[in-house]
Copies of this chain bind each other. A is one copy, B any other.
Amino acid sequence: MGLTRTEFFTEKQNKTASIMKALGHPARIAIIDFLLKTDKCICGDIVEELPLAQPTISQHLKELKNVGLIKGNIEGNAICYCINKKTFIEFQKYLTTVFDKLEKQENNCC
């Protein structure tokens, strides 16, 4: 059918999956890498940095913004994008529980 059955899963599972999904493309990983590297947040420089057309980048930025991983700030006629720490910290919480559980796992059959 091609439609993810989100209603079958918990809100947390859906939220986590949507963040992972947003990060599930090398261009979007590259955008995050770039925003982390530049320290101050950069706008259309991303378009110059990445070897993709401007509309494509714009689309990727939109997806990252939709799940709250980045924020956009209007500065004149340009837009300044940057990491949204809040979402990352929330994401980190989930990951911490995963890695904690993993550490305690012993009876791993494989």
Contacts and interface: CB of A to CB of B under 8 A. Distances in A.
Interface of A: 4-6, 8-10, 13-14, 16-18, 20-30, 32-33, 36-37, 39-41, 50-52, 71-73, 75, 80-85, 88, 92, 95, 98-99, 101-102, 104-110
B52 A108 contact: no
A24 B29 CA distance: 14
Given A98-B36, A109-B82, A20 B21 contact: yes
Copies of this chain per assembly: 2
B5 A51 contact: yes
A37 B98 CA distance: 10
Contacts of A8: 26-27, 50-52
Nearest to A40: B107
A9 B29 contact: yes
Contacts of A24: 17-18, 20-24
Contacts of A82: 108-110
